Structure 1
Amino acid sequence: MNDSSKTKDPGVPKSGNRRSGKGHKARLEAPAKTKPIRRRVTRDCSAQIIQRAWFSHAHKMIFQLLKLTICAAEFCVTYDILKKVSPLEAKLVKDPSMKCKVRFRFSGETFPPFIVFKIFLHTEGHGYKYFSGRNLLKPSSEGIVDAYKMMGKNKFYHQVLEDEHLFQKLKVTDEIDVVTMQDYMQYSSLLDEIPASSGGRNNYWRRLSLENIPRTMIMYDIVDYAESGVMSNRLRKEMKYLLQKPKTEEIRRQQLRIVSEIRRPSFSSIQPICRSYQKQDQVKHLGRRSKQAQMKVEKMKKAYLAKEKTASEVTEPKMDKAGTKDSSLLHPSF
């Protein structure tokens, strides 16, 4: 027996089957084809990671600016904002005897949140009693009969149906329905939402729109940037300082002052629309011209002056000839 048949060929598999060899080659070539696909997947994943990181950074930046806006609105320019929303309520806030306080908060289910406000009245521990016909006039009293006569049949029935609808929906619409602390909180929030005609206080959280903020403040630019995504030049200049973390109280106050500062246009930059005739003659053209344009203008000026000069020289001898003829007629020679 020849021992050469027992030698192992490194290129041939152990089984000696050709099909298995082809399968082995196929297995070796398969990872080479999947490499571009894996690269694409990794690129897509890395792009998504970068995109999420950028969005989170932008959201944090917007939230920090909106937080500064809320603080500035609550502590600096409450009256100016409330004057645009409701001038009558602004007078109440301005009155020191009323002891009112306006609170600003975030609300909304999506980002960015919108700003809401609510007016609170400090009772100093005494409390205020809200009188309403719904609580005072009971069905067994004679006042309900007089109320029926004054309100009329349709309006009275409408009020009764509205009360029944609220009871079927919320189950806690009267002091008798309050059993637990949760029922009391629900009843208190209901009194803030429903109008005074239904026995409520009508003092709910109201949304602060962009129209209620003065345009002369950076607060307007911040809310506009949060809603539209467009940053103004005025906000871009102050962005770096406003996004700094306040290390001291002085920096915090400076940030609030910048956000709530009313900026008026300087009168020096405003130019009059009409100018006098003499001033218009004195004003020179300051536009930029190339050298070719300047040379062309100079040539046109020279050509125009030369044309006028030749025209004046031609008209002068004609006038002289006409003068001599006229003189000969007046003084004939004998």
Structure 2
Amino acid sequence: MNDSSKTKDPGVPKSGNQRSGKGHRVHWAKTKPIRRRMNRDFSARIIQRAWFSRADKMIFQLLKHAICAAEFCVTYEILKKINPLEAKLVKDPTMKCKVRFRFSGETFPPFIVFKIFLHTEGHGCKYFSGKNLLKPSSEAVVDAWKMMGKNKCYHQVLEDVRLFQKLKITDEIDIVTIQDYMQYSSLLDKIPISSGGRNNHWRKLSLENIPRTMIMYDIVDYAESGVISNRLQKEMKYLVKRPKTEDMRQRQLRIVSEMRFPSFSSIQPLCRSYQKQSQVKHLGRRSKQAQRKVEKMRKAYLAKEKNASEVTVTTKDSSLLHPIF
């Protein structure tokens, strides 16, 4: 009985555990390259995300230098290209105007906006507009209606009604709380002057408003297009560093706002002198046979010119020897 129990029957199948182990090894062999490829893609995605994050930090650091330089160093130069009249107000010491630059936008990289503020030192400032000064029952309203015209006056009234239905606070009568006053003040900044507003909202600083002689232009261009210029690439290593001292910060702002003009030594003249033109060799695609032929023709032409000059000299000498009386 014991001998018969120890003998193995060739017709009996193997246990289920052994079959499942073999199938598991086959399945693992098939999924191994797939998992390796997934790990490689995941690693590449991590590296790509880290690289994009580093590039975004560099762009933000450069834009921060640009916005600081625009506010503290080159405000007048930028405002002069946007609106020369407003630039004169900034230069006037009696007006005490200050231009503020900020970041704005819903996506990265942000764009730069600016706004002009008037410091009144606590005395306040009174804005005069015909909408607030002219009473509805006065004759001035009738004269204004005649000067504006019927269509323009109706358009103004409809615009006032539309703003009131949208914002509910469009006049001094509607102000009840401090929040209402802040909302009314911000609305006056957005409304144009023809409608009784100040027209002093946050305006976008475009690339055309920045002087091309500054690295600030290259920074904004790099943030918008992703193309870095040669002069920005030279200063990139120093500008990306975090300023540890005030001197380093001032130097970075000086680099960004410094006027840089091209050197005259690097500019080549449009026309070459006659001597330089004679020294320039022809760089055409000629064969050696054609070059030899041209050289023979040139020598023959020079010899012919030389013979012609000798003949003229001999004729002149003969005329001197036999004068005509």
TM-score range, shorter chain: 0.7 to 0.9
CA–CA distance in structure 1, aligned partners of residues 181 and 37 of structure 2: 58
Judge which range, 42-51 or 234-243, deviates more: 42-51
- Aligned identity (percent) is 76
Name the aligned partner's letter for residue 2 of structure 2. Answer: N
Equivalent residue number for residue 110 of structure 2? 113
Instruction: Give yes or no for the alignment of 1:199 onto 2:196.
Output: yes
Q: How does 1:34-45 map to 2 (within 5 A)?
A: 34-45=31-42
The DSSP-based 3-state class of the residue aligned with 2:112 is strand
Moved more, 190-199 or 55-64: 190-199
Q: Which residue of 1 aligns with 2:5?
A: 5
Q: How does 1:198-277 map to 2 (within 5 A)?
A: 198-277=195-274
Higher alpha-carbon Rg: 1
Aligned-pair CA distance for 1:101 = 1.0
Query: 200-209 vs 151-160, which deviates more?
Result: 151-160
Which position in structure 2 is the counterpart of 1:97?
A: 94
> C-alpha distance in 2, partners of 1:25/1:280?
85
Distance 1:300 1:172, change over 3 A: same
Query: Offset at 1:18?
Result: 5.4
What amino acid does structure 1 have at the position aligned with 2:56? H
User: 1:132 Cα deviation (Å)?
Assistant: 1.7
Q: Which moved more, 1:260-269 or 1:117-126?
A: 260-269
Of 175, 184, 188, 1:187 maps to 184
Seen in structure 2, the aligned counterparts of structure 1 residues 6 and 56 have a Cα distance that, compared at 3 Å, is same
- Output the amino acid matched with 2:253: L
Query: Structure 1 residues 276 and 56, CA, compared in 2 at 3 Å: closer, same or farther?
Result: closer
The runs of 5 or more residues in structure 1 that have no matched partner are: 10-14, 288-295, 320-334
Matches within 5 A, 1:21-100: 21-100=18-97
RMSD (Å) for aligned C-alpha atoms: 3.2
For 1:27, give the aligned amino acid.
Answer: H
Q: Residue 155 of structure 2 aligns with which residue? A: 158
> Structure 1 stretch 145-154 or stretch 256-265: which is displaced more?
145-154
1:125 aligns with 2:122: yes
Q: How far off its partner does 1:21 sit?
A: 4.4
Distance 2:87 2:128 in 1: 24
Equivalent position amino acid for 2:200 in 1:
N
Gaps of 5+ in 2: 312-325
Alignment length (residue pairs): 296
Post-superposition Cα deviations, 1:98-140, rounded to whole Å, max 9, x if no partner, equal 2111111111111111111111111111111111222233445
- 1:268 aligns to what SS in structure 2? helix
Matching residue within 134, 148, 151 for 1:137: 134
TM-score (norm 2): 0.80
Counterpart CA distance in 2 for 1:190 and 1:110 is: 25
User: Counterparts of 1:180 and 1:4 in 2: how far apart (Å)?
Assistant: 104
Q: Following the alignment from structure 1 to structure 2, what is the Cα–Cα distance between the partners of residues 32 and 89?
A: 74
- Whole-angstrom CA distance in 2 between matches of 1:147 and 1:158: 14
Secondary structure at 1:187's aligned position in 2?
helix
Residues 1:74 and 1:7: Cα distance change in structure 2 (over 3 Å): farther
Cα deviations by residue, 1:12-38 (Å, 9 ceiling, x for unpaired) = xxx966566434422332222222221
* CA spacing shift, 1:271–1:35, aligned 2, 3 Å: closer
For the residues of structure 2 that align with 1:36 and 1:208, how far apart are their CA atoms? 53
Task: Identify the residue that residue 330 of structure 1 maps to in structure 2.
Answer: none
The letter of the residue matching 2:5 is S
The change in CA–CA distance for 1:145 and 1:280 in structure 2 (over 3 A counts) is closer
